[in-house]
């Protein structure tokens, strides 16, 4: 993959994340915002995976499994009414800060 193409694809992922945040600010369009954000994340992962090459695919796959496992456990344990707590769990660094 050429350098310019990968940068263009990363730019598309950045725009998709900004659009996702815009749609997430309105409850009527929140589902669309989640879908746009997820599509942008998949594109970013694929571009990174192709850029890195075949030498580090296993490291990316292991990191995805570990992160996905932590995310799944946090999503199951935190109720929807405690979104602030979920946000602290998902960012990780904010969970260590005093309340």
Q: Where are the domains of the chain?
A: 1-53, 54-99
Two structure tokens written together for 28: 């009527």
Tell me what pLDDT residue 73 has: 80
Yes or no: say if 51 and 1 are a contact pair by the CB < 8 Å rule. Answer: yes
Model pTM score: 0.62
Yes or no: say if 16 and 40 are a contact pair by the CB < 8 Å rule. Answer: yes
> Once rounded to an integer, what is the mean pLDDT over residues 82-99?
55
Which residues contact residue 38 at a Cβ distance below 8 angstroms, ignoring those fewer than 6 apart?
none
- The pLDDT mean for the chain works out to 79
pLDDT digits (tens, 9 = 90+) for 16-48: 999 988 988 888 888 898 899 889 988 998 898
> Once rounded to an integer, what is the mean pLDDT over residues 46-60?
78
Q: How far is CA 45 from the centre of its chain?
A: 9
């Amino acid at each position: 993959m050429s350098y310019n193409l990968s940068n263009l694809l990363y730019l598309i992922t950045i725009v998709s994340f900004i659009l996702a945040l815009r749609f997430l600010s309105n409850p009527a369009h929140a589902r669309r915002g989640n879908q746009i954000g997820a599509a942008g994340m998949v594109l970013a992962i694929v571009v990174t995976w192709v850029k890195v090459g075949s030498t580090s695919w296993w490291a990316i796959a292991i990191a995805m499994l570990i992160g996905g496992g932590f995310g799944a456990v946090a999503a199951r344990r935190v109720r929807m009414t405690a979104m602030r707590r979920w946000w602290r769990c998902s960012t990780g660094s904010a969970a260590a800060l005093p309340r």
